[in-house]
Amino acid sequence: MLRKIIMTALALSFFSITMPASAKAATKAEVVSDLSDQTGVAVTIYNQNLALIKDHRHLHLAAGPIKLAFRGVSAKMRPETALFSARGLSVIEQNFEFDLLTPASLLQKYVGRRVEVIRRHPTTGVESREPAEVMSANNGVVLKFADRIESGVPGRLSFPSLPENLRDKPTLTMLLQSQKEGDKDIELSYLSRGLGWQADYVAELNPDDSALNLSGWVTLTNTSGTTYKNAHLQLVAGDLHQVQPEAKFSDDIRRERVYKTMAAAAPNMAQEKMFEYHLYTLGRPTTIADKQSKQVALLQAAAIPCKKEFLLKGSSYYYRQAYGEIDRKLKIGVYVEVENRKQNHLGMPLPKGVVRVYKEDSKGALQFVGEDRIDHTPENESIRLKLGDAFDLTGSKKQTDFKKLSGNGRYNYIYEAAFALKLKNAKAEAVTIKVSEPIPGDWEILSESHKHKKESSSVASWRIQVPAKGESVLTYKARIKF
């Protein structure tokens, strides 16, 4: 890779192209449309590295067959999805030309063809030209002169013309049939890779953790090779099914520098249901530049009620055999839960993304307190975020008794297991800790110090009050049948 970069840089210093009159005349037969002809562009981005581009342009075209070069398309377009639409025009043939003009690609096209080597005399400054044939352009240039073969030739190379299928930008060329001369409004629609979006959320907790303010941002990333100026932007949230290719070929992976910009806060994006997905529409045009990551406002909501929960989750393995002390320092998770409802000042479909949570310290400065990822969340569903593990809350657990009552096969055992769980609280205020235990098989609680709740066929839970600067102990015995 380093050798290729060096050779490309060196090649730039000695390449020139001489366009003969015949070649210039040939290019006039091709009608070139670039972004200056664009009258509008609409971009619908899916969160699966996929976008639908609708490019509108205005052109004056003659009657008869026309070769149209449609420049400024995505370098990662899927050409089989291209759809050209215009009155009085029909498409006979189309080609996606993505072999771009570089010193290396130009040399490759001239292997077996003649060029001129231009040298400048070091003292007189007089230039001389000598014809040569390009024999090889792999890891350097090998030239065949009339009386010798050389590589690493000083000077620069002059090319008589630009190969027809070598372009400086990705171009869709089309052979069209025009019914009559005149102005044409045309639209080119196609699917493209290289455009994606994700939702990012910022939440700010109030002092007593009972409510939060939520801001949602859409992060757009464009590595498609072209810029979409003043685009009508729409986003689709949902999991679309896409047909995978039967054979997979490895693509060259290029590390591209991405510049990030932040758009000013705006009203919530309008959203609507579309098929079995949700469509979000930005209410103003926006420019999506190539090699850029930008953010636009998705939503803003304030004073959303939330609930903080301390949770200790157990494991099912210690119900199957005898154990002593299970763990002396169990982690207590910290969770925040929000109901996505209109009465809670929210109530809109939320695209999947990462929620980052902040809270003010005693001096009023915002501090980061944790983050979690959410899936696509419809209205009236709950959002549950794990922000970390509590520093001042700990637990320890041991098995106080274990008996095998009966059974001699793999699926007819009956066990009884008893446990003691000590919960400690170093805070200055009392807390409630939820203990959730996944119990295997057919189970029942025989005795307990605190009343349990059967969450599901395999989970029992307890809510334990732990006093400030104190501790509480949960004891229980379970019978398990397999």
The DSSP secondary structure of 77-96, one letter per residue, reads B-GGG-EEE-TTEEEEEEEE
Residue 142, SS3?
A: strand
- pLDDT value of residue 121: 86
- pLDDT value of residue 269: 81
Q: Tell the burial category of 425 from Cβ atoms under 10 Å away from its Cβ (0-12, 13-18, 19+).
A: buried
- pLDDT value of residue 162: 80
Tokens linked to 5: 């970069």
Residue 336, SS3?
A: strand
Counting every residue, how long is the chain? 482
- pLDDT value of residue 409: 66
Tokens linked to 93: 């043939």
The 3-state secondary structure of 411-449, one letter per residue: CCCEEEEEEEEEEEECCCCCEEEEEEEECCCEEEEEEEC
CB 171 within 8 A of CB 100: no
Phi-psi category of 49—alpha, beta or left, where left has phi over 0 and alpha has psi -120 to 50? left
Strands 366-374 and 292-313, how do they pair? unpaired
- pLDDT value of residue 249: 43
Q: Over the stretch 122-180, which tens digit does the pLDDT of each residue have?
A: 888 899 999 999 999 888 899 999 999 998 888 889 999 888 777 778 899 999 999 99
User: Using CA atoms, how far apart are residues 100 and 103, in angstroms rounded to an integer?
Assistant: 10
Domain ranges of the chain: 2-44+51-191, 194-241+256-304, 306-481
Tokens linked to 423: 């919960």
Residue with tokens 């664009």: 38
CB 393 within 8 A of CB 426: yes
User: Using CA atoms, how far apart are residues 389 and 332, in angstroms rounded to an integer?
Assistant: 5
Q: Over the stretch 6-28, which tens digit does the pLDDT of each residue have?
A: 344 334 344 454 444 433 333 34
- State how far the alpha carbon of 270 is from the alpha carbons of 118, 264, 277, 349, 462, in Å: 61, 17, 14, 11, 43
CB 275 within 8 A of CB 358: no
- pLDDT value of residue 108: 86
Among 429, 428, 399, residue whose Cα is nearest residue 415: 399
Q: Which residues of the chain have pLDDT under 70?
A: 1-29, 99, 245-267, 409-411
pTM: 0.72
CB 421 within 8 A of CB 450: no
